[in-house]
């Protein structure tokens, strides 16, 4: 499925107002840029961010459950262990960022682009992903348990030990990705696009004996 759909980019004007996170208006951030700072020890529900850029921002001990992100860019940010569970994330880019352990459980993602990110141990359980691309990311040990995929692109990613349990991969192209092992059943692999080398690996995984 790689390359057969187009991700809508965030709609962000060139001129943005620089602010600090504490200047947020009633759990709502819009038309601004937050840069070169840390957001620490924050717990909020249903925060809304629209047409906003976060650049060189570190999130530490942050829980923004049910967050609504629309037209947002995270550029060179650290969102390790941040809680965005239940979030609605639309036209958002994560670029050159550390997303280690980011919690996106039960989130809804549409037109989201992950590029050059460390997304190891991310949690996507029960999430709904539509028109989402991962390019040149490390997603080792991530969990996509019972996720719903529609138009998903994994390109040149490290997927070692990713769990796709109860997540059908029909139409998903993994052929450019690397992994030694995936946590997946043969039923969920039906219709998945893989390279010849990967196919041999899957055959061994499911107990087939390959003869030359």
CATH code where residue 142 lies = 2.160.20.80
| Full domain range(s) for residue 48 | 17-205
Does any domain span residue 42?
yes
- In sequence order, what DSSP letters do the residues of 43-84 get, joined into one string? EEES-EEEEEEEEEEEEEEEEEET-EEEEEEEES-B-TT-B-
Kindly report the backbone phi and psi dihedral angles of residue 124, in degrees, each rounded to the nearest multiple of 5, phi listed first.
-115, 20
pTM of the full structure: 0.93
Beta pairing partners, 75: 55, 95
| Domain annotation covers residue 3 | no
Q: Which residues of the chain have pLDDT under 50?
A: 1-2
C-alpha to C-alpha distance for 50 and 33, rounded to whole angstroms: 11
In a domain, 6, yes or no: no
* Cα(157)–Cα(3) distance, integer angstroms: 15
- pLDDT recorded at residue 210: 65
- The string of pLDDT tens digits covering residues 160-202 is 999 999 999 999 999 999 998 899 988 999 999 999 888 877 8
188 membership: H or E segment, kind and range: helix 186-189
Q: Which residues pair with 103 in a beta bridge?
A: 83, 123
Question: Considering its fold, how many domains does the chain have in total?
Answer: 1
Is 5 a domain residue?
A: no
């Amino acid at each position: 499925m790689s390359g057969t759909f187009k991700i809508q980019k965030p709609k962000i004007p060139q001129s943005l107002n620089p602010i600090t996170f504490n200047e947020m208006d009633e759990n709502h951030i819009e038309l601004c840029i937050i840069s070169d700072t840390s957001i620490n020890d924050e717990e909020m529900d249903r925060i809304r961010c629209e047409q906003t850029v976060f650049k060189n921002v570190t999130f530490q001990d942050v829980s923004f459950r049910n967050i609504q992100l629309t037209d947002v860019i995270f550029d060179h940010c650290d969102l390790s262990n941040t809680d965005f569970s239940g979030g609605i994330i639309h036209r958002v880019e994560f670029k050159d960022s550390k997303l280690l352990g980011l919690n996106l459980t039960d989130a809804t993602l549409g037109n989201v682009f992950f590029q050059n990110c460390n997304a190891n141990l991310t949690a996507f359980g029960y999430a709904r992903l539509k028109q989402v691309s991962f390019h040149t990311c490390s997603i080792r040990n991530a969990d996509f348990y019972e996720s719903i995929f529609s138009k998903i692109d994994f390109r040149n990613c490290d997927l070692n030990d990713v769990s796709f349990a109860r997540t059908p991969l029909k139409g998903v192209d993994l052929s450019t990705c690397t992994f030694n092992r995936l946590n997946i059943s043969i039923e969920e692999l039906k219709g998945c696009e893989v390279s010849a080398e990967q196919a041999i690996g899957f055959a061994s995984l499911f107990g087939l004996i390959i003869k030359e």
